[in-house]
Every structure is written in C-alpha cells, then in structure tokens.
Structure 1
Amino acid sequence: MDRQSAEAETQDESARTPSLLRRRPGFPMLMVSIAFGAVASGILNVANDLVAIYALDADATQIGLLNASESIAFLFLAIPAGILLDRVNRIKTMIWAQAIAGMAIFSVPVCWALQVLSYPQLLVVSFLVGVTGMFWGMGAGSALPGIVGGDLISVAFARKETVDASAGIISPGLAGVLVALVSAPFTLLVAGAANFMAAGALLWGFRNKSNVAIQSTEPKERVSFKASFSEALHFTLKHPMIRALTASSSITNMGLAFGAALETLYFIKVLGFTPQVVGLVISTIAVGGLVGSLVVPGMVGRLGERKVLALSVLCLPLAVTLIPLAASVSQAAVFLIITSSVLYNALMVSYNATVYGLLARYTPEELMGRQQGFRLVFTMGPVPVLGIVGGFLGDRLGLQAAMWIWVGITACAALPLVAVLNKSSRESEPAND
C-alpha cells in the first residue's frame, strides 16, 4: 500500500511539473531563445560544410580542420569561461554570445556576394561560432538550476531538449532546400537571423527579472582566479561519479568529432546523397532528439538515472554501426542512415539528460560554471584533434573504412562508467527494515 501511495504521488508530481516549469520566471522565454538557437544550429550544421564543399571545393582533411576550428575553443577557453560565468550576469553573456555569432555568420554570405570568400575566413567564422556557442551552452547550463530550482533540473533539461529538437526538425531540411534555391552561403543569412532572434528573446524575457540565473552565485568575498581554478579542478577530479561521467562523455564526443569530419562527404561521395537528402537526414537528428526527450522522464522514473545512462551508452555503438553498413546495401542506404540518426540522437539525449541530472545533483550551484568549464576541457578538448584525425584517415583509408573506427571509439565510452555505476547502484539500494 505504501508503495502504491508513493507511485501515485510520483505520478501526481509528474502531472504538475509542466505548469511548475512555466511559472518559473524566465523559463518560458529561455525555451523560446533555445528554439531560435536550434534553428540557427540546424541550418549551420548543413550549410557550413556545404559552403566549404561546393563553394570552395574542400576535401575531407579541410572539413576536419573546419570542424576542429569550431570546437578548439573548449580546450583553451572553457575554464576561463566557467570562472567568468560564476562571476558575471549569465543571461547578458548569453545575449552577447548569440549577437556575435550572428554577425560572424552574416560575414560569409556578404563576402560570397563580393566574391572574396576564402577557406581561412570560414575557419575564423567557425572558431567564433564555436567560442560564442561555448559561452551560450555553458551559460544555459549554469543558469538553468537557478531558474527552475533543484527539484526540477532533470525534467527542465528534458524540456529543453524537447524544444531544441522540435525546433531543429525542420531547420536542416529547410537548409537543404535553401541551398538548392539560393546557394549554401546565402542560406547562412537565415542562420544568422535566428541567432539574433535568440538574443532578442533573452533580452525581452529577462528585462525585469532578477534571480540566481541572472546574477551569478559567487560568494560575497570574491576569490582569486588561482583559487577558483584550484577549487573547481579538485572537485572535478576528486569526485568519482563526476570523474567517470566526464571520461565517458569525453570518449563519446571524440567518436562524434571523428564521425562528423566524415559524415557529409560520406553521404555525398559514397552514398550519393543530394543536398536535399543530406538536409533530410540531418532533420532526423532533431526527430531522434525529440523522441529521446519525450521518453527520458518516464524511463528515469521507472528505471532510475543510472540504469537509463547505462542502457544509453551501451546501445550507442549499435546505432553507429548502421552508418558504414549503409554503403553495402545501397538500395536501403537512406533508410539505414535515417534509422541510425534517429536511434543515435534519441540515445544521446537520454545519455546527456541523465549525465546532466547527475552532474547537477552532485555539483554545488556556485560551482556550476567552473565545473562545466573543467568538464568541457576534458570532454571537448580532444574533439579538434579527433576531427583532424577523422578527416586524415578518411582520405587515407577511405570514408567507409574510417566509419568503422567511429564505431570502435563509441563502444569504449561505457568503460569508465562500469565500476562507478555498479557501486552507486549498490549504495542506493534501500535497506531492509
């Protein structure tokens, strides 16, 4: 009877969660801003590589360098960014990040129209987009607990993923159509405009609000950079759960960076996809993300965060396996790629939601920015190298053969979690009365 009462109470709380989130000051407009950001990212993910391939005739190595330039900021700037976000107005920082990204993206179609667009410029723009995207993502992650409160963090993250995925469903497909109609460089005009709309939504939504998400939670006596650095590093490396989650995420991201350097070329040159089909495939990323975000709350409620995390990380390599297999069954290639995309991204949302929930639970709020900074150094720092390695091996070994390496890297992501999840599961078992 007690168990039934507990289950009923849990279901009642789940039913009230959406209304509770909507009543949190700033949360609805944060979701609107995230939706515009998803539109910008969805278009950019399609158009940026296509600009390099069609407008500048880039090869796999150059695509790898282009992707690396976008993620290299995490290696050098994530820690200072985390310390900064624990000291400043997080929402204003996010607004400036989106505005700068919009201006950088606008420079590409402008220079294309003037016939002065070059590959080095694309590298610079990708770097700026990576830096601003890092501040945007870290700012949102640091602000979210303060906006919704500790009791709603996991559900709020799932809602964030739902909005992100829903807005991203149509944008890649739209990008493919726009590329065919007005060329890849001019398609970036829409992405830049979406960045400005994301900044505007935050500016409007938080204009009169004051809470921990806006004003950072730094202590009254500001500590030095060295002391902040030391405190966050010690916390990140000492805590066994955070250490394991960080290592697993690092391996997963390395595999994703390796594959991202190859995917677009693989789709076009090996599978023979048109830009419209590439846009359709990338649209399914958002479909998978939406599916994952909708099922995660129920799965976590039934199985618990640790079991959902284990299931997600174990199934990820199976989803990646379908990509190199698609070249062997050309008639079903589109079906296999779409299936892989939906499954992979549903699992990634499930993986990221449970990781974020555990991280937020174990991390004090005043350390959220710095903890994210150190975690991003470890999880995103190797990404540029793997992007370059992926492009290099794609040129040397062949695109299909290199895809199998992605499968192997992804399979290794479960290893750091084995011991800590088993130990945590045993420790969390209720004692017999």
Structure 2
Amino acid sequence: MTEAEPAADTARPSLLRHRDFMLLWGGQTVSEVGSMITPFVLPFLAITALDASNFEVGLLTALGTLAFLLVALPAGVIVDRVARHRLMMWCDLVRAAVVATVPVAWYLDTLTLTHLCVVALVTGSLTVFFDVAYQSYVPALVTKEQLIDANGKLGTTSSAAATLGPTVAGVLVAAIGGARALVADALSFLVSAVSLFLIRTPEPKPVRPDGPRTTFREQMSEGLGFVVRHPVLRRIVACTATVNLFSHMASAMEIPFLVRELGLSSSQAGLLLALGPVGGVLGGLLAGRLARRVGSARIIWLAPLACGVPSYLVPMAYNGWRVVFFGIGWFAFTFGAIVYNTAQVTYRQQLCPPELLGRMNAAVRWIVWGTIPLGALVGGALATWIGLRPTLWVGVVGASLGGLWVLFSPLRRLRDVPPDHTAAAVS
C-alpha cells in the first residue's frame, strides 16, 4: 500500500452523508431482515404444520429461486427498458400483498403446501425483477469512486439480515406462531417501498440504441453473450454458480438437520443460524479495506478458497458443545462469500456499459441463481437417499472448490483490476 492511498480514501465523499443512498440502504436493511423470515418460516410451517417430507421441503426451497431460471433473462430486457426506481417500488408492494396471504389462509384454516409453494414461486419471481433492477440502479445513485464502498455496505446489510432474520423468525415463531410471523415480512416490504419513494436523485432515462430496433430475444442474447464471451466474467460466473449449487444443497437441509438431527427448537435453530452470517457482516465491513490491501483482482479468487475449508465444520456439529461447529463453519463461509461478492459485483458494474447493465446482471443471475433450485432439489433427494449429514458434507466440500474457477483465470496474474478493464480481459 502506498502512502497516497489513505489520502485518496479521505478525499472520497462519505456515503453516510449521501441522503438518497442512506434511504436505499436503510429501506433495504429493514426489507432484507424481513425477507429472511420467510425462508425460515415457510419450511418450518411445512414441517411442523403440514408434515412435509425432506424432499417436499427441498422442493419448497427450490421454488423460491426457480424464478431466476424462468424469468431472469426477460427481466433484464425489461429492466433496461423502464425506470428501475419505479419498478423496484412496485415489486415491493406486490410482494407485501402476496406474503400476507399466508397468515390469512392460516387464520381461515385453508393453508396447504401448494399455497406455500405458490407464494414461494411468486415472491421469487418478483425478487428477480427487484434484484436485477437493484444492482443496475446503484451505479446511477453513487459515483464510480463510491461504488465498492456502496456494494460493501449493501453486502453488510444482506449479511446482517441473514444474521438477524433467523433469530427474529425463531423468536416470532415461538411467540406468535409461524404464519403470523410472516406479517413482519409483509410490513418490511412496505418500509422498503416508502424509502424508495423518498429518493430524489434523478435516474437517467433508458438508453434507446440508434438504428433498427432489435427484437426482445436479440436483446436477451446481448446480455448473455457479453457474459459468456468475456474471459474473466465467465470464470466469475462459473465460480459463483458452482458455490451456489453446492452450498444450497447444504443450506436447503439446514432446518431439517437442526430440527430432526440435532433436535433443536425453533428459537434455538434461529439463534444457531444467526451465528453464521455474522461473518458476512464482518466481510461486508472489511471488503473494501481487504480489496485495497490484498488487491481488487486477487481478492476475487482468494476469498472463496481461503474461507471454504473452515466450512467443513458445519456437518461436524453434534448435540452438546459441538453444536457451535455449525455456526463457526457458516461464519467462515459467509465471510468469504460477501468479500468475494463485493469485489466481483463491483468489477461487473464497472466493466459493463450502462445501457447493458440490466441484461448483464440478469444473465449473471440467470446462471448463478439458476443453480440454486437445482441444488435445493438435489439436496432434498440426497438427504432422502443418504441422510442429512452426508448431504451437508457433499455441499460444503463442493462449494469450497468453486474458487478454482477464478484461481485459474487471467485474474491470477493481476494484483488489482486495471482502470481499463480490457487489460484484465486478455487471456
């Protein structure tokens, strides 16, 4: 680190004084804490109220992310055509209404597993549109110099939500019941919608390309083609997809493992699940500093490899004091995941032309999130075939090897991503 670097950090405008970013960040913090309740409550309701099997729990978890396979690519085209700010607000409002149907159905004694599956699929579809718009909107809200700091703070929010969400969910389920706990998630979407409404930074109008208008399918192909043709970006996508596939084989079976294998209550399971994402909070806070110290290119391959092996502690958890292995393993995994995500998302946002951001982000999400429902389904099937603990072993070992994709890429020869990203693309 040179002597000039601290001075550059001091000169960088603080996001804490950026009114509209703070509104976005604050609204997302509340919304993401609420959103962590639903992935906890839906499987818990399925297990305890509807006596769902391990495979049915895996199917329910898979449906929450299946929409990334179904609608991500067309969502990218739509995001590049419309005002992203307004689209995000509508997604929040509709998600609030859909989640609220579960406590209503429970009160009327008409709740079924099919209803839970439909809610998971619909809210997942709306989340696709929100997330693609969200990652494409941030570069329009902050300056390029503030981008890695903004992504680090937003990554911290995601991990803080993952930390607080299961704890809040466990306490709420114990206090008022699983179905009623979903009211908190519905309210959190409303908070996010209000915070977005209060943002006043003008959003650039969507860019209309010159010449003949391309078809919807051609516009989808542009985003996907940009991703798969870039020698670094396609390796990043392969890494993330691999980690998501295997980690969600394990995470889909977290609650059955904690409840059925270790015999924990809902509040105990929530507290234990909260131990893991604390690492993500720390990773988000330190991501920018680590990228400057280690190198913004080097950290992309170092983070997933260095933090993957300690995740082997997850399937080593047993009753008694060894139950904490579960939390320690997820702590290490989420720390590395957030540091990696902050670095690679910033790289993608700076690399891509603004008019292609929505389609590029959608193409990336289509691939890397598309492996999540597959992982959840395979996790449910494996748990039925070989048991819960061996399934966790397959998941954490497979996820730890995902970093090899970016280790053996042009990034390995660089310390930092150069300002001209075409240099980073040379293989």
Question: Can you list the C-alpha shifts for 1:393-432, whole angstroms capped at 9, x where unaligned?
Answer: 10110101111110232133123212214554289799xx
Q: 2:46 aligns with which of 48, 52, 55?
A: 52
Question: Can you list the C-alpha shifts for 1:191-238, whole angstroms capped at 9, x where unaligned?
Answer: 1111111111111224xx3123xx334436654323312322221111
Q: 1:153 aligns with which of 133, 136, 147?
A: 147
Please state whether the residue corresponding to 1:240 is helix, strand or coil.
coil
1:413 maps to 402
Please state whether the residue corresponding to 1:305 is helix, strand or coil.
coil
Question: Can you list the C-alpha shifts for 1:230-289, whole angstroms capped at 9, x where unaligned?
Answer: 322221111001110011110011012211221110011111221111111232344222
Does structure 1 conserve the Cα–Cα contact (< 8 Å) formed by 2:298 and 2:416?
Answer: no
1:9 maps to 4
2:71 maps to 77
Measured after TM superposition, the shift of residue 51 of structure 1 is 1.2
Distance 2:194 2:324 in 1: 39
2:422 maps to none
2:291 corresponds to 1:300: yes
Alignment of 1:264-279 (within 5 A): 264-279=255-270
Q: 1:200 aligns with which of 174, 181, 194?
A: 194
Does structure 2 conserve the Cα–Cα contact (< 8 Å) formed by 1:271 and 1:333?
Answer: no
Question: Can you list the C-alpha shifts for 1:24-67, whole angstroms capped at 9, x where unaligned?
Answer: 56211111121122121222232121111111111210111001
2:206 corresponds to 1:211: no
Does structure 1 conserve the Cα–Cα contact (< 8 Å) formed by 2:301 and 2:412?
Answer: no
Q: 2:390 aligns with which of 379, 387, 401?
A: 401
Measured after TM superposition, the shift of residue 156 of structure 1 is 0.8
Alignment of 1:281-296 (within 5 A): 281-296=272-287
Distance 2:17 2:40 in 1: 36
Distance 1:427 1:316 in 2: 20
Distance 1:135 1:83 in 2: 10
Alignment of 1:225-304 (within 5 A): 225-304=216-295
Distance 1:73 1:120 in 2: 16
Q: 1:380 aligns with which of 340, 346, 369?
A: 369
Measured after TM superposition, the shift of residue 154 of structure 1 is 1.2
Distance 1:114 1:225 in 2: 43
Please state whether the residue corresponding to 1:86 is helix, strand or coil.
helix
Distance 2:21 2:14 in 1: 10
Q: Percent identity?
A: 26
Measured after TM superposition, the shift of residue 320 of structure 1 is 2.5
Is the deviation greater in 160-169 or in 82-91? 160-169
Distance 2:362 2:418 in 1: 32
Measured after TM superposition, the shift of residue 107 of structure 1 is 0.5
RMSD: 2.1
Question: Can you list the C-alpha shifts for 1:121-151, whole angstroms capped at 9, x where unaligned?
Answer: 0000000111111112111100011111222
Does structure 2 conserve the Cα–Cα contact (< 8 Å) formed by 1:138 and 1:372?
Answer: yes
Which amino acid in structure 1 is aligned with residue 9 of structure 2? Answer: S
Distance 2:280 2:415 in 1: 31
Distance 1:39 1:160 in 2: 13
Does structure 2 conserve the Cα–Cα contact (< 8 Å) formed by 1:60 and 1:261?
Answer: no
Does structure 2 conserve the Cα–Cα contact (< 8 Å) formed by 1:320 and 1:406?
Answer: no
2:117 maps to 123
Structure 2 residue runs of 5 or longer lacking an equivalent are 420-427
Q: 1:427 to 1:262 in 2, by over 3 A?
A: closer
TM-score of the pair, normalised by structure 1: 0.91
Paired residues, what number? 418
Q: 2:85 aligns with which of 80, 86, 91?
A: 91
Task: Determine which structure has the larger helix proportion and give its number.
Answer: 1
Please state whether the residue corresponding to 1:416 is helix, strand or coil.
helix
Q: 1:171 to 1:234 in 2, by over 3 A?
A: closer
Which amino acid in structure 2 is aligned with residue 13 of structure 1? Answer: A
Measured after TM superposition, the shift of residue 16 of structure 1 is 4.3
Measured after TM superposition, the shift of residue 152 of structure 1 is 1.9
Q: 1:242 to 1:422 in 2, by over 3 A?
A: closer
Which amino acid in structure 2 is aligned with residue 83 of structure 1? Answer: V
Does structure 2 conserve the Cα–Cα contact (< 8 Å) formed by 1:281 and 1:341?
Answer: no
Q: 1:318 to 1:382 in 2, by over 3 A?
A: same
Which amino acid in structure 2 is aligned with residue 219 of structure 1? Answer: P
Q: 1:246 to 1:185 in 2, by over 3 A?
A: same
2:169 maps to 175
1:64 maps to 58
